Copies of this chain bind each other. A is one copy, B any other.
């Protein structure tokens, strides 16, 4: 975790880790079988300091929104460490703690097993996907020497200068597409998703 936070995801190599521990890289393989296994452990560890209680709300929609937003910010707080979690079906204790908590919100809302599982997954996928996309300019930054802002600005200029005849919408929305407000952007989609889940719940209640 120290390496991840100090030097980023790409610096997480067996050799660096061994150095950090004052040991040779071959020794690590007594403790885990593959680097993949190590990353599974680290991915779970990334949620160790994520507060899973302490933000309950009377309204389950509010609670879901708050929890998702907090996880989003948590995953973005440690450099690009979020890349570790993204798309990993972890089953470590910290991940399970969060799963349990999240599913609880949906059950409390009155969703049946199937809907709770699917809705929870949808929200989870949205959060992780958003984290990846927010981190993406950061890794393209790593490749070239630009700041995150410069990468986004360059993209904006590229979009704005496209031929209007073939890409009228892209050109028209160049500004909106590259707006820097990541949190607002995240909440926009999150709120849509939650609203849709609510509506689906109401629909299935009517039927049942």
Contact = CB atoms under 8 A, between A and B. Distances in A.
A122 B192 contact: yes
Nearest to A114: B176
Contacts of A126: 122, 125-126, 129, 189, 193
B173 A116 contact: yes
A118 interface: yes
B191 A104 contact: no
A110 interface: no
Given A188-B118, A195-B196, A100 B133 contact: no
B125 A130 contact: yes
Given A100-B167, A116-B169, A126-B189, 14 more contacts: A89-B155, A91-B155, A96-B162, A100-B168, A120-B177, A122-B126, A122-B188, A122-B193, A125-B189, A128-B132, A193-B196, A195-B199, A195-B200, A196-B199
Most buried by B among A107, A136, A166, A177: A177
Contact of A89 (B86, B107, B136): B136
B177 A117 contact: yes
Q: Determine how many copies of this chain the complex contains.
A: 2
A149 interface: no
A192 B189 contact: no
A205 to B, nearest CB: 15
Most buried by B among A36, A114, A189: A189
A189 B119 contact: yes
A48 interface: no
A88 interface: yes
A123 B196 CA distance: 13
A126 B189 CA distance: 9
A176 to B, nearest CB: 3
A100 B170 contact: yes
Interface in A150-187: 155, 158-159, 162, 166-170, 172-173, 175-177, 179, 184-185
